[in-house]
Chains A and B, each alone.
Chain A
Amino acid sequence: NAGVMQNPRHLVRRRGQEARLRCSPMKGHSHVYWYRQLPEEGLKFMVYLQKENIIDESGMPKERFSAEFPKEGPSILRIQQVVRGDSAAYFCASSPPDRSYEQYFGPGTRLTVT
């Protein structure tokens, strides 16, 4: 049973470009969470999605950031017009539908904005 998969593992973008981060949840998991971790800071919740639905996006910046979890395919976190402050590790976690508190994290995508 493969774990949560994220790709790419490392992503370098120039200021103003777009970044697309992908997350494939564990088999049987229908809930996906995205978090951001800055150096020396804790994990910060960004968005919680179920298939085709955004359940809670209270942690997502209002501009430039969007997330989706389509019926087929991975969840995507999209950052438009990246700035240096977007450089961070972005983690995705998935959970089974009946135990949302049990989150399994992927290895993360390290985004560097130059």
Chain B
Amino acid sequence: SQKIEQNSEALNIQEGKTATLTCNYTNYSPAYLQWYRQDPGRGPVFLLLIRENEKEKRKERLKVTFDTTLKQSLFHITASQPADSATYLCALDSSGGSYIPTFGRGTSLIVHP
């Protein structure tokens, strides 16, 4: 069956360090993968999209990699700040062309000052 796995344990890091979050998937052949940020009591906010033919994408302090052989995406936040503390969700399109994403459960990131 199709599965998206994100680490359920919170990631605690010190301010200024690089945070790395992992998204693994099985039994998908996604055309794209997305990362969202969700704060408590709020809706997810779209951060980055990476397509299957792209290895890496950057946006300011964010970097996403996409390895379709390993079936894994890594999400990096460099020079992390306490304001980056949130839950980060990865999402894959679940069926070709219809753009209906399937979300992982998310990983909580806590950046300590």
Contacts and interface: CB of A to CB of B under 8 A. Distances in A.
* Band of interface residues on A: 20 to 34
B79 interface: no
Contacts of B32: 101
Interface in A8-38: 33, 35
Interface stretch (B11-19, B60-68, B69-77, B101-109): B101-109
A69 interface: no
A41 B89 CA distance: 11
Chain A interface secondary structure, helix, strand, loop or mixed?
strand
Nearest to A92: B43
Interface in A78-92: 91
B104 A56 contact: no
A45 B102 CA distance: 7
Contacts of B102: 45
* Band of interface residues on B: 20 to 34
B106 to A, nearest CB: 7
B105 A40 contact: yes
A33 B43 contact: no
B43 A56 contact: no
Interface centre among A33, A45, A95 (most CB of B within 10 A): A45
A105 B44 CA distance: 6
Contacts of A55: 98
A104 B44 CA distance: 8
B7 to A, nearest CB: 13
Contacts of B94: 45
Interface in A60-114: 91, 93, 95, 100-108
Contact of B44 (A43, A44, A56, A100): A43
Interface of B: 4, 32, 34, 41-46, 49, 89, 93-94, 98-106
Q: Which 5 residue pairs are nearest across A and B when measured between Cβ atoms?
A: A105-B43, A100-B99, A43-B103, A42-B105, A42-B103
